[in-house]
Amino acid sequence: MTDRRSARAGAHRASSGRGRKLGLVLAAALVAVACLVAGFALWPDDPSASTDEPANLPGAGAREDLVEWTGTELPADTPVAVPAALRTVLLEAGEDPARFVTSASGALQVVDGTPPAGAVVLARFEDPVGEVLLVVDPAPGVPTPEETDRRARLAAAVLANPGTGAEGDAAEVLRTADLDARLLSLLSVLVAQFDVRVADFPAAPAEPADGPPARRVLLDRSGPDRLTPGSPAADRLTTFLAAQLPPFAPDTVEVTADGLLIGFRYASAPDAMVTSRTP
Amino acid sequence: MRRLVRAAGVVALVAAGSVGGGTAQAADTNGLLRLAHLSPDTPAVDVYVDAVADPDAGITLEGVSYGAVSDYQDVPVGSYTVSMRQAGASPDTPPVLSTTVEVTGDTARTVAGVGLFADLGLAIIDDSLQTPPADQSRVRILAGASNAETIDVGIAGGPSVATGLAFADTSEYVDVPAGSTSLTVAAEGQAPAELPVDLAAGSVYSLVVLDADQGLRVEPVLDAAGAAVVPVGGVETGAGGTADTGPSASLVVLAAGSAAAVVAAGTRFRRRPGRHATHRP
């Protein structure tokens, strides 16, 4: 009897132990399922994902950001060198094989994590899981001393114009002449002819703080007039901007509630482009 | 229209500063601006020169056509934008930014629009305003004739001024005997032409070689002169531009020289009353 009790008790303990183990297994399974669900929820859809993708292939979100960025921030004929596995995925998704190459002279590069020495980081994309994708210019153009001096003088003149009204970071950009020579030239004529006020030099999308010289400017006034959508002052400026020719023709002109945003796509050597107009 | 506006790039702007030696002396706070159009097949343009730092300093030059070399204007030193528009275009047509120019008080520069319309360029050329010895003239060649791929230029019976100078290029200055003389201009593959020219002693000239109806012609443009030499309003050929606004006293000699730009007819300077002049839509 005792043995049976003991046996039952033993059986009960055994049964109870199995139940706890089962509960633990179920709990673990639930946690795993929950993690999977959460992971899928956080990870963007990736129809092209396959089990044979390299472990370091960036996620679809970063890839889409990269493709969109190249479309808006680079000239159409600027190649971008990407790892072979990434290129395969991009081309399968229908991207331009002339845009995304595995290697090309003068091409920008996509690297994952650490930029090469001497490179300037143009854009930084990060997956939810922390995978970092960088677009870099491995050999950015270096202005000549004359070009550097010209840029400094022109930026100082823009800042000296009482109508420019740049303050804070915007003033610092002008003070250090840390802006694209094409934008600076265009800004100089806008300041001289249209009495525009500089509100900001907003960074380009995905651009890090230590990125290339500013190539976008936000203007909020032209003389006494605010630059808002539909305002005569904004229309006058957009007409002027539309008539400009390379290298001074901006790539983007957008009138927002904050003002008129003017931008240029990235160029590795904008000073040389300006110099070519006036040797 | 964009192509026509691009033609504006042919215009040249001269930023002339004070004379470092010689007889003329400019104030360090002012320089001189001059404009030229040396592209044979490019339409006339209106030119807008705007000071970047000074909202009230700007110059408009209207109807600048091939062969025109404007008068000098004295302007404050600093950065300037140069914008152009096809002459006679609607006032609603925006001028197009062509370049930026730095005017300093101790240099003289020519920003020259050169070449053919299809290959238009702006070139900045340093001017020498150092006057030569009293019995000499200092000359250089601006090759603005598309009829001549290259030219050889010399003083008849005297020194060579330029050899194998290509269209749209500029030669170095050379000192030559002053006086009434002839230039021998030999275009590649053509017979040399003798072109009379008067060169005042102690003066500095840019000799502009241009296309003519038949062959070539040379227009002397006075860059600088000794105080006793050049009257305002013209030099040897008798033509000349006039300035609407007089230059500062310190620049009178240089301005007089520039006013002698014999091909400046049709070019007009005016100082803009303010940043938003009515002619600038």
Q: Are A129 and A112 in contact (CB under 8 A)?
A: no
Lowest-pLDDT range of A77-81, A265-269, B43-47, B219-223: B43-47
- The answer, yes or no, to whether residue B226 has pLDDT greater than 60, is yes
Residue of chain B whose alpha carbon sits nearest to that of A250: B97
Q: Are B223 and B140 in contact (CB under 8 A)?
A: no
Written as six digits, the tokens of A237 are: 């400026």
CB neighbours of B268 closer than 8 A, spacing ≥ 6? Answer: B60, B61, B62, B63, B244
CA distance to partner chain B, nearest, from residue A151 (Å): 10
Written as one string, the DSSP assignment of A57-103 is: PPPHHHHHHHHHHHHHHS-TT--EE--HHHHHHHHHTT--TTTEES-
CA–CA distance from B9 to each of A245, A246, A249 (Å)?
A: 11, 12, 15
Give B64 or A264, the one with higher predicted confidence: A264
| C-beta atoms of B121 and A243 within 8 A | no
pLDDT of amino acid B240: 25
| A250 CB neighbour count, 10 Å cutoff | 20
Residues A126-141 pLDDT 10s: 877 777 889 999 999 9
| B236 CB neighbour count, 10 Å cutoff | 17
pLDDT of amino acid B249: 25
Written as one string, the DSSP assignment of B149-189 is: SEEEEEETTS-EEEEEEETT-BPPPEEEE-EEEEEEEEETT
Residue of chain B whose alpha carbon sits nearest to that of A183: B97
Written as six digits, the tokens of B29 are: 């706070």
* Residues of chain A neighbouring B98 (CB-CB closer than 8 A): 277
Read off the DSSP letter of residue A208: -
- The answer, yes or no, to whether residue B44 has pLDDT greater than 60, is yes
Lowest-pLDDT range of B59-63, B152-156, B263-267: B263-267
| C-beta atoms of A192 and B123 within 8 A | no
- The answer, yes or no, to whether residue B43 has pLDDT greater than 60, is yes
Average pLDDT of the residues of chain B: 71
Residue spans in chain B of domains classed CATH 2.60.40.2890: 130-228
pTM of the model: 0.73
Residue A117 φ/ψ, nearest 5 degrees = -60, 135
CA dihedral defined by A115, A119, A123, A126, rounded to 10 degrees?
0
Q: How confident is the model at residue B128 (pLDDT cuts 50, 70, 90)?
A: confident
* Residues of chain B neighbouring A243 (CB-CB closer than 8 A): 2, 5, 93-96
**C-alpha A89: how far from chain center:** 20
Q: Mutate which of A146, A149, A189, A238 to disrupt the B interface (most B C-beta within 10 Å)? A: A189
Looking only at Cα atoms, what is the longest distance across chain B? Answer: 54
CA distance to partner chain B, nearest, from residue A141 (Å): 20
CA–CA distance from B30 to each of A168, A246, B14, B92 (Å)?
A: 32, 31, 13, 32
Measure the CA–CA gap between A157 and A188, rounded to whole angstroms: 8
CB neighbours of B48 closer than 8 A, spacing ≥ 6? Answer: A193, B58, B59, B60, B61, B81, B82, B83, B84, B85, B95, B280
Residues A34-53 pLDDT 10s: 433 443 333 333 333 333 34
Q: How confident is the model at residue B106 (pLDDT cuts 50, 70, 90)?
A: low
pLDDT of amino acid B166: 96
| C-beta atoms of B96 and A192 within 8 A | no
pLDDT of amino acid B126: 80
**C-alpha B36: how far from chain center:** 4
Q: Is B229 helix (H, G, I), strand (E, B) or coil?
A: coil
Distance linking the first and last C-alpha atoms of chain B: 17
Q: CA nearest B141: which of B208, B216, B215?
A: B208
CATH number for the domain running over B130-228 = 2.60.40.2890
CATH number for the domain running over B1-127 = 2.60.40.1120
* Residues of chain B neighbouring A240 (CB-CB closer than 8 A): 94
Residue of chain B whose alpha carbon sits nearest to that of A149: B102
Residue A65 φ/ψ, nearest 5 degrees = -60, -40
pLDDT of amino acid B13: 33
Burial B41-75, CB ≥16 within 10 A → b, else e: ebbbbbbbbbbbbbbebbbbbbbbbbbbbbbbbbb
pLDDT of amino acid B246: 30
Measure the CA–CA gap between B276 and B240, rounded to whole angstroms: 30
- The answer, yes or no, to whether residue B29 has pLDDT greater than 50, is yes
Residues B147-194 pLDDT 10s: 999 999 999 888 999 999 999 999 999 999 999 999 999 998 788 889
Written as six digits, the tokens of A69 are: 């960025």
Q: Is B75 helix (H, G, I), strand (E, B) or coil?
A: strand
- The answer, yes or no, to whether residue B280 has pLDDT greater than 80, is no
Residue spans in chain B of domains classed CATH 2.60.40.1120: 1-127
How many percent of chain B have pLDDT more than 70? 69
| C-beta atoms of B96 and A245 within 8 A | yes
A4, with CB counted inside 10 A (0-12, 13-18, 19+), is: exposed
Give A240 or B71, the one with higher predicted confidence: A240
Measure the CA–CA gap between A153 and A155, rounded to whole angstroms: 6
pLDDT along chain A (279 residues), means of 10: 36 42 50 42 35 56 90 95 92 94 87 89 86 91 96 97 96 98 97 96 93 97 97 96 94 98 97 84
Residue A205 φ/ψ, nearest 5 degrees = -55, 135
Q: Mutate which of B3, B6, B48, B79 to disrupt the A interface (most A C-beta within 10 Å)? A: B79
Beta bridge partners of A113: none
